[in-house]
Amino acid sequence: MDLFVPDYAIDTEEIYSRGGRNFGDESFALFKCPGCWQVYLIDESADVVYLDPKDVTSRLPAERVRRECVGCGAALPDEPLSGSSAPDEVRVTWDQLRATRWAWVATVEVMLRNQKRMKREAGL
């Protein structure tokens, strides 16, 4: 299994059911502050960052979090925070995720289900 949590392991339905919907074209990913390991959920479509795993209505524009991590106050690296070009230091491993209250947001079950769907869609 990949060390890092892939975007398709994120439980979109669960986020919606907790009130985390934006505009319907959500593209969720996880990243972390390399300084203090604060884990964040981002909707790349709306460029909005979810701050609180217990309250997904608590969000900030990604720009604000880039400027100042809510955990340690440091600026985040001026690099992509998600996607294939994100540096390892901002990516979140399964172990790191499970050590936070964000553990519910991505699961192996969702990852496997989406893997199957992606294979089916690719005609494999």
What residues line the site for Zn ion (CB under 5 A)?
33, 35-36, 38, 69, 71-72
Least distance to Zn ion from the beta carbon of 46, Å? 22
- CB of 29 or CB of 76, closer to Zn ion: 76
Residue 78 makes CB contacts below 8 A (sequence gap 6+) with 66
Q: How far apart are alpha carbons 46 and 24 in whole angstroms?
A: 10
Residue 66 makes CB contacts below 8 A (sequence gap 6+) with 75, 76, 78, 81
Residue 122: DSSP 8-state: T
- CB of 1 or CB of 36, closer to Zn ion: 36
Least distance to Zn ion from the beta carbon of 23, Å? 28
| Site of tokens 């070009």 | 85
Least distance to Zn ion from the beta carbon of 43, Å? 20
- CB of 3 or CB of 72, closer to Zn ion: 72
